[in-house]
Amino acid sequence: MPGPIVVLGSANLDFVVRTPARPGPGETVFGSAFTTVPGGKGLNQAIAARRAGGAVCMCGAVGMDAWGEVLRDTLRADGVDVSTLATVPGDSGTAHITVQGSGENSIIVVPGANASVTTLSAPAAELIAGAAALVMQFELPQSVLLEAAAHARRHGVRTVLTPAPVLDPVPGLLDLIDIVVLNEHEVTRLSGLPDIEDATRALSGSRTVITTLGADGCLLAAHGEIVRRFAAPAVATVDSTGAGDTFVGVCVARLVAGDPLPRAIEWATVGAGISVTRAGATSSMPTWAEITAVGLT
């Protein structure tokens, strides 16, 4: 039996407003709906991986507020192990999301308790040492990401990073990552190159890079070359929130289950395609049964 998928990442409560168009500077517009949905890139990826059949443990922190219990209970309800999810003084993380009529979104994240995770706890280190994969994002301080990635490398554990929100990585971090999954904006920002294919190649010198392209699918690169372009299923987008996290969660779950990377990516595109047809982040993520019901073309 492989070890669990360990997600070291953020847990936020998402405050989601739907509106026909985002307001400009100084402008007020009417929204059509408001919801609160558990989210955060770490929590999202943990739930997506769990629903795709993975055994998942969540490492991070929530605050001593009502939202913290909501986030913890949300993970538990999907069967994610929260024994290493700390509760710290102060507020839990929040994300403030505006979804336009087209389904495109813009997001402001307030880190809250997530900012307290600056070093790796002993229980988290023990979990990572026996993990099948370590999954991380940029919504926690990079000091703990670097420490965790180095710890995973020493124990031969595969590392997966989503560098979002896009920031300059601390020196040495990317060298410890096996698979980087990012979007068009993130790959051009990190590489400094305007062309998406050139940017993807440039980042893939010593690691595998997957660049997601929304409705245009994704690119897979390794050793400085584009290996394959994957098509996305044709769907009517309702809300793209959480689609990238669904992609990562499904992809990692299928890798740990033994699928080769190209097949895992194919399943991940199906999962992400389902998620954009539904509103919200965790609320949109499909189960493995739903993904296989759609199937691969």
280 known ligand binder:
yes
284 known ligand binder:
yes
**Tokens 């002993």 sit on residue:** 122
40 known ligand binder:
yes
Residue 129 parent element (H or E): helix 122-129
Which of helix, strand or coil describes residue 179?
Answer: strand
Distance in angstroms (rounded) separating the CA atoms of residues 162 and 264? 16
CB 31 within 8 A of CB 231: no
195 known ligand binder:
no
Q: Which of 65, 168, 178, 245 is catalytic?
A: 245
65 known ligand binder:
no
42 known ligand binder:
yes
CB 265 within 8 A of CB 232: no
Which of helix, strand or coil describes residue 56?
Answer: strand
244 known ligand binder:
yes
114 known ligand binder:
no
14 known ligand binder:
yes
Phi-psi region at 26: left, alpha or beta (left = phi > 0; alpha = psi -120 to 50)? left
190 known ligand binder:
no
197 known ligand binder:
no
List of E strands, 178-245: 179-183, 208-212, 218-222, 225-230
26 known ligand binder:
no
245 known ligand binder:
yes
Which of helix, strand or coil describes residue 237?
Answer: coil
28 known ligand binder:
no
CB contact set of 104 (below 8 Å; sequence gap of 6+): 240
> Quick check: is 195 catalytic?
no
Supply the DSSP string of 76-89, one letter for each residue: HHTT-B-TTEEEES
Distance in angstroms (rounded) separating the CA atoms of residues 125 and 233? 38
Which residues are annotated as catalytic? Answer: 245
**Known binding site for ATP: residues?**
183, 212-217, 244-245
**Known binding site for K(+): residues?**
239, 241, 275, 278, 280, 284
**Known binding site: residues?**
12-14, 40-44, 139, 183, 212-217, 239, 241, 244-245, 275, 278, 280, 284
